[in-house]
Amino acid sequence: MLEHIGTPGFETLSKADAAVCENVLALLNDGHEPLVAEVGVGIGATTKELARLLDNRGELHIYDFEGKVGELIADLRELGYENVVGFGNTRRHWDSYNWSLIKQLQATPEPIYDYVYLDGAHTVLHDGLAFFLCDRMLKVGGCIDFDDYFWSVAGSKWMADNRYEFMTEDQVAEQQIKLVVDTLVVPDERYEEVTPHKVYRKVA
């Protein structure tokens, strides 16, 4: 999968998220060996940089389609990174990373994550629930980082030919991560804003 980084057609997916990497590096510099979750891996640009920064310290948990997860872990193993753990879901219609997240929550009675990067489907359907599941697994003092606050289906080429078979006009036009953040995260007194529209720290 990593071979796609920097190639034509993958330009927007080829750059690691700078804020995620800076914040995880800060945890390392403070002496932590963090447990980091990345929900949605794209072509692995951020995952690769996180693995490099961690350098086999702590763990990196990745959630995405099982084929992508398996391929990305294999690529990272070849680079010497052994601390990446995959949680894959099928492409069946009602399956998603939320199934993997709830199973992980079921298996871990105490919060485990120091940092969560949520870069999934960018829909309320998926990421509204993903926030609640990640919240249950996020340590107090840990951060959740939302990708693409201003993104909308209308502004992308994604599902351009059949989007209205699955969404209403309102849902296509809506900036759905903004809706999740503004409605579920910002009013929650247990969270404080670290980076506007993006990073929120769990304080209680």
* Res 28 pLDDT > 90: yes
- Residue 159: inside a domain: no
Mean pLDDT of the chain: 97
pLDDT of residue 157: 84
- Contact of 51 with 60, CB cutoff 8 Å: yes
Residue 141 belongs to what domain range? Answer: 2-147
Provide the residue type at 152 as one letter: S
Is residue 202 in a domain?
no
pLDDT in tens, 106-150: 999 899 999 999 999 999 999 999 999 999 999 999 999 999 999
Residue 49 covered by a domain: yes
Q: How confident is the model at residue 159 (pLDDT cuts 50, 70, 90)?
A: confident
Q: Kindly state the DSSP code that residue 98 receives in the 8-state scheme.
A: H
| 42-53 confidence digits (pLDDT tens) | 999 999 999 999
Phi, psi of 129 (to 5 degrees): -70, -40
Judged by DSSP in three states, 204 sits in: coil
Residue 13 lies in a domain: yes
What pLDDT was estimated at residue 86?
Answer: 98
Tell me, what DSSP letter sits at residue 163? G
- The answer, yes or no, to whether residue 189 has pLDDT greater than 90, is yes
Pairing of β 191-195 and β 199-202: antiparallel
Indicate yes or no: pTM above 0.75. yes
Domains of the chain: total: 1
Mean pLDDT to the nearest integer, 90-96? 97
- Please state the rounded mean pLDDT for residues 145-158: 94
Residue 107: give its domain's CATH number: 3.40.50.150
